[in-house]
Structure 1
Amino acid sequence: MGPSHPPDGSTDADGVTGGDAGDVHGPDPDGIDLRTFREVVRNAGHSIYWTDTGGTIEYVNDAFVEQTGYSAEEAVGSNANILQSGVHDGQFYERLWDTILSGEVWSGEIVNERRDGERYVAKQTISPIANGDGKIVRFVAVNEDVTELRASRERAERERDRFEQLLDAVPVPLVLSEFSGGDPIVEQTNRAFRERFGFDPGRLIGSSLDEFIVDEDDTARAGEINERIRRGKRVHREVVRRTASGERRTFLLVATHLSGDDGDEALGAYLDITDRKRAEEELRRKNRQLEEFAEVVSHDLRNPLNAATGHLEMIDAPEDDPHLASVANAHERMADLIENILSLAKRGQGIDETEPIELDAFVVDCWDAIATGDLRLRNEASGTVRADPARFRQLLGNLFRNSVEHGSTSSRSQAGGDVEHGATGSRAKPDDGDDDGATTVTVGDLPGGFYVEDDGPGIPEEAREDVFDSGHTTAETGTGFGLAIVREIVEAHGWSVAVTDGAAGGARFEFTGVDRE
């Protein structure tokens, strides 16, 4: 309980000089049977002992013996300091003695030591006892062993600290809340949440989260989200929430119900996507401007081009006139450039609607619509794909033109470098199996996609990283936009494209991530 003697100035109790105080018999002035009192104390579940005002132990009960390991004979007559563990300093015991000598009850946790040296934690209450003259004559100490309880509490505190550290290590704003009457009451937030939203944790903890961050106009939607979470549904949606400064920002909210014995809890993650949303809107605005500009330019270019083409057709000249053929080729190249400008103006635009397309028939239809020169088509495609028909047609058309240019302007022994081509030859012949030197274009299936390849000269490995760049071409008649447009269409569909060698050494374009049926 305390040191071997009380602070200077204290006196011993009158009328008690040691021994077993429990041996006092007879009724007290209030009629209480002291023997009965002794039996109650002796059989109490908590350790009980009392001392004189100098700290000498006068009585111990059976629970004391069990708790401390000291027998009654060893304890009685000894000073209560036999229980000291050395954990507490002198000031601790001075404050304890100051309290009980002033007539006040001292209560708190104290680390004591058993007879065998093992330490234990006791929840102790020391009460001063006064005689009829009001003078303090002894102190009664009641001790409850709370070692395991304290160990459990410390483990819980360590786990809580560890949990807080883990939360703070996450760069995404997180909030742990418990539902009360439908409102999410904040239990804990991490550092990222406090920094992003700016609210004082002292105000936020224990309060409704929605009252702080939800605008009045969004109350109904927030209530619907809360109800979904309470039903165990995982929430993943964009929300607008208010910060402490009043700024309204857009977040991607991912909230999950936490099942367990700790109540109706939920963990919410608020990923700030405000800047991304603003950037997307700015990009859409610029794309609209670019598309409008391209429409105006192409319209202004088509009018004189159509006039020039019409006048060319009215010229009475031999069909094999090389000058007229050169002019006609120039007109065709200008028309291709106008179409490519319009396609590139739609760069980055997503696909609004797709539909199932029978790949076999669609490939043949696209092939027939293109003047393919002296080439053959081997169509091994089957099944269906989901795509935007118009843009998928443009993708296949550009790839076929790419192969046309290989077949119509390059020999098989030539190193491939021409990656942008325009068709100027005759319609393609079907693949009849005869090897007459004509280039063959093959369209076939892949797991999760399809491929288009030819048996022409191919594309050098060092050039494959550049083939999809706008303006990249080594062909005299190429615009440099065809494969760039292919890439844009692929990205708009969410597909992937890779360039590799064909089975016969030509160019092979593999498309994956395609929705096949």
Structure 2
Amino acid sequence: MNELPDTIQVLHVDDEPDFADMTATFLEREDERFVIETATSASAGAAQLEQNRFDCVISDYDMPSQNGIEFLKSVREQYPELPFILFTGKGSEEVASDAISAGVTDYLQKEGGTDQYTVLANRITNAVEHQRTREHVERSEQRLREIVDSLPHLLYVLDENGNYLLVNEALAAFHDSTVEDIEGSNIAEVLDGSAAAQFQQFIGETLETGTTKRAPEVEVSDPDGETHVFEPRLQPYEFGDVDDRAVLGIAADVTERKTYERRLATLNETTPELMAAETRTEVAEIGVEAAADVLGLEANGIHLYDEQSGLVPVAQTDAGHDLVGDPPTFTGEDSIAWRVYEQGEPLAIEDVHDHPDIHNPNSPVRSELILPLGEAGVLIASSPTAATFDDEDSVLVEILASNITAALEQVERTAEIRAREAELERQNERLEEFASVVSHDLRNPLQVAQGRLELLKEDCETEQVAPIERALDRMDVLIEDILTLAREGVRVNEMEDVALGEVCDACWQHVETGEATLEITTDKTIQADRSRLQQLIENLVRNAVEHGGDATTVTVGDLDSGFYIADDGRGIPADERESVFDAGYSTADDGTGFGLSIVKQVADAHGWTIRLTESETGGARFEITGTEQA
């Protein structure tokens, strides 16, 4: 059969060949879409139907061997929807009644004249177009049903009374039922009371607003009693020719996602506990309990690296001990755990008995999940069942392993910090002792020498007095700088907002600057220990004036992350700039060499960085960066 939509294939069965041919001629003239095939008996017509596909059958009633009604019944057995028109010259109410009972599409009596062919053509056209429309609708409904049933989510149409007008296979399968059984039932017959009441409320709200509604999560139990969490979404829907108001809904099963989110949230709650642990063993014990309680990895343990022994077992759950007994210490002897530790990549083994590097061939362990803990060790989860661990387990345990690693690293850092603090405390004690010695054993003789010098000046006039006085003054400054270095060290006291310009003005007043000039081009406010910052600025100003002379101009300006202090003096050679902050370094004959060392210590105490470079005028420029702006 030609299946083009503008072609109508017709089979005309009549025991009078001439009449059948004439009918075909008139029909083809009435509608050029008609293609007429003829048969002179019911059996010949049946044979034609088996060989070709037709859009419509026209049959006479009074034929030998098998009449039109009998032929119609045989056609209906194989082609129940095929349009069939009984076109007969022997008509009666009885024949018409029998034809209708047998499923005839139309009934038409033969008459004289040619108008009957126009009527017949119209009847054929109407019957075929009606059938084609119905087939198109059925195909569309079938495609829609296939699409609906292919959806993984639960899809349904409910009328305003909560009756299911349409459901898909996913919904029926969830309830361990069939589409046919659920369609036509009420939500109260399918869902428990709470869920049914919620859905009835959602239906009312959706129809009332006339808009799509994303409903709150609903808990629904499956036939096994397991609770699932669904996220429903409903919208008003026109369901075919049904006048009742209805909603189209789709519900996604988010149970696994919600379970994952809960486990992840609980896992994150263990992070503060891990980070608060003070020892590696304490971290390991918290880690194995979290893996068991939160992730369900009941049999697990943590091995931490020891330089002398290898990967030593530190913590293990009771279930882990029941499964593997006392865990071994892993070394580099081709063990799986050691390889994971060295390579730093997690490994999931579906069946350890199939692995060439199994540690114990007689072990009851079948599947394992091994995760590195940085350079600290490994976490091992075990199961007596093969292929136990899924992707979700792997993701969550990797998060836990990351948290355990961070906690172990913090323990190490804390231990190092405490060791450094203890060493600094010992150094401070020694420095304090040194400062006391300097203060007592040097200042006392110095004060005696200064007193005697005053007496000498009263008793006689000599040119030797001035050099002695200058030497004693220099010793006094030197002792003061040494005491500052020893007592202040790298400590800062309370930090506060300090206006840089104001503190520079104050420092300028405290330093002997002669005819030198101060230019402040910053209005920045920074966080600093005011007294230590003054110490830094005074020493830099004093250094600029002492080396540049009374005509020096000192400039204080902004940097992106700090400030600078520059002068227009003779500067410092590039090959000496790395040494200027060393204690004792000085280019002045009467300098102590401690001023810039103190500046460096003040900067370090604040966490700042100081760098010496050349100013625009060729002088020295000290750049202090890393300050925190208030």
Q: TM tier, shorter chain?
A: 0.3 to 0.5
Greater relative contact order: 1 or 2 (C-alpha under 8 angstroms, separation 6 or more)?
1
Give the number of the structure whose alpha-carbon radius of gyration is greater.
2
TM-score normalised by structure 1 residue count: 0.46
TM-score normalised by structure 2 residue count: 0.38
